[in-house]
Amino acid sequence: MDKSPRKLDNVKSSISVVDLNNVAIVAMRPIVRKAKVQVIHKLTRQIEQYKKRKGTPAVVDAYSKKAGRLLEEIQIIKQFKPDPISIHSFASTETFAQVANKAEISLKERAQARLCDNKLINDKVTKFRKEHADWKELAGFLQTRVTRRGKSKTRRNRIKRRKEKGLTTTKPESASDGTKTDSKLKSSKKETIKENKKKPKSINTSAVVKTNKRKPEVKEKGDNVSDNSSPESETEGSDSNIDSDDDREEENVETDDDDDSDIEDIDLGSEEN
């Protein structure tokens, strides 16, 4: 079996990879955006015409269905990105009429063919094909190369983001002179606040002693207690009144005893007589 390389592997392309990327992808981005605007405006005008059509109910229903289908195509075209559309336009050889006449076709394929059939995109594609005879190989290279580069690019970006997150999440090391960082200062402050909350509150004994001291009674002329006397003096006065009442009761009891003794003396005197 002959293992010599194929002739196609040794064929030199008519354009470098960098130039191909610039011509077929980068330069096509603004053109695809303009084509999207033109196609959407054209479809909106068609929808308005379909809604204004008059006739039998069957005809009106048919035109309303067409207007709904065109509205769905507009929503799909808005979501298209420039790079896949430009690559598809360089690789595809079918016109919009050929795609639309197919029996089974999705709205996405229909909208993509309609957009690639725009005059702005068609002019660039025909010019590229005239300048490069190997445009089929170049279009196939774009379809395979971009997908592979896209995967590797997303992987590189993912690794880069992880590294950046790792750098941002690392905690700053403390300075060599022994000074604390802001995070350590905040943590030390929180610890001191917690310790102060756990400690019992100290009682000011001097304030308690001052409150327990009795204020001297202030008397006006006529031995009347002043109106500004404290509630403690009122309680003391009430205690003194209670003591005086007890003394009076004791005196009354003693006088009663004396009366009983006088009665006994009288009885004795009467017996002696």
At residue 164, the pLDDT reads 83
Quick check: is 259 in a domain? no
Closest Cα to residue 129, out of 260, 250, 24?
24
**Beta partners for residue 225, in sequence order:** 219
* Structural domain contains residue 191: no
Note whether residue 105 is domain-resident: yes
What domain range is 116 assigned to? Answer: 11-167
Q: Residue count of the chain, please give it.
A: 273
Which tokens hold the place of 144?
A: 């395979």
Q: Which pLDDT score, from 0 to 100, does residue 155 have?
A: 76
Per-residue pLDDT, 67: 93
Q: Residue type for 267, please?
A: D
Residues 97 and 36: beta-carbon distance below 8 Å: no
pLDDT reported for residue 12: 76
177 inside domain: no
Residue 223 belongs to a domain:
no
For position 268, what pLDDT does the model report?
Answer: 44
38 within 8 A of 31, measured Cβ to Cβ: no
- At residue 159, the pLDDT reads 85
Answer yes or no: is 86 within a domain: yes
Count: domains in the chain: 1
Whether 26 is covered by a domain: the verdict is: yes
Chain-centroid distance of CA 239 in Å reads: 71
Q: pLDDT averaged over consecutive 10-residue blocks of the chain (273 residues)?
A: 50 83 92 96 95 90 93 95 93 91 90 94 94 90 68 74 70 46 63 66 51 50 46 48 54 52 48 43
> Tokens 């002739």 identify what position?
7
Place of tokens 């006739």: 55
Please check whether residue 247 lies inside any domain of the structure: no
Specify the pTM.
Answer: 0.51
